[in-house]
Amino acid sequence: MTRWLTGWRIYTQIVDRLRERIEMSEYPVGSMMPSEAALCAEFGVARNTIRRAMAVLEAEGLIQTIPAKGRLVLGGGKAKKEPYLYQAIARELREQIASGELVPGSAVPSELTLRRAHRVSRSTVRQALAVLEQEGLIVAEHGRGRFVRAETS
């Protein structure tokens, strides 16, 4: 049974509890925070109190508000550069190309492989691949798949 939060500046007590949950991976990096309504019910406070607490966590770089989605857990006090999953997938593939793990001319993992590895939708994977195509890192060959662009001399 949890104690009711009382006293002046309740939101700072909520910040401490939520920060601890993020640090202990109760809210893992990359997951979404519970809704304001759920947190209001849990802590027995008004929505404005929860919003104040969330603003502090966001200022600390622990979470990021994504319009129409909610609040994404960043964790570790490090701001995440890609709030959307397709950006993270594109970054990972970009790093594999830069490190030589995916050499020029080699096939890029299939949409299905990427979907399963990242547990995302087909459209999310396609967005990531489209970004890499626009950057000129990969090319699509109709009926064959996508390949790392061969270096041109």
Please report whether residue 79 resides in a domain. no
Tell me, what's the pLDDT at 153?
Answer: 47
Does residue 28 fall inside a structural domain? yes
The pLDDT score that the predictor gives to residue 83 is 64
- Does residue 17 fall inside a structural domain? yes
- For the cut 50, the answer to whether the pLDDT of residue 79 exceeds it is no
Does 113 have pLDDT greater than 60?
A: yes
Q: How many CA atoms lie within 13 A of 68 on its CB side?
A: 1
Q: What is the mean pLDDT of residues 38-42?
A: 93
Query: Average model confidence (pLDDT) for the chain?
Result: 86
For the stretch 130-148, pLDDT in tens is 999 999 999 999 999 999 9
- What pTM, to 2 d.p., does this model score? 0.50
Q: Is there a domain that residue 94 lies in?
A: yes
Q: Distance of CA 131 to CAs 24, 88, 94, 124, 139, Å?
A: 34, 11, 10, 11, 11
State whether 17 and 60 are in the same domain.
Answer: yes
Domain hosting 122: range is: 85-148
End-to-end CA distance of the chain: 68
Q: Is the pLDDT of residue 81 over 70?
A: no
* 78 phi and psi angles, rounded to 5 deg: -105, 130
CA distance linking residue 69 with residue 89, whole number of Å: 19
67 and 93 inside one domain: no
Last residue of one domain, picked from the residues 73, 102, 122: 73
Query: In total, how many domains does the chain have?
Result: 2
In a domain, 135, yes or no: yes
pLDDT confidence of residue 29 = 85
Check residue 28 and give left, alpha or beta (phi > 0: left; psi -120 to 50: alpha).
beta
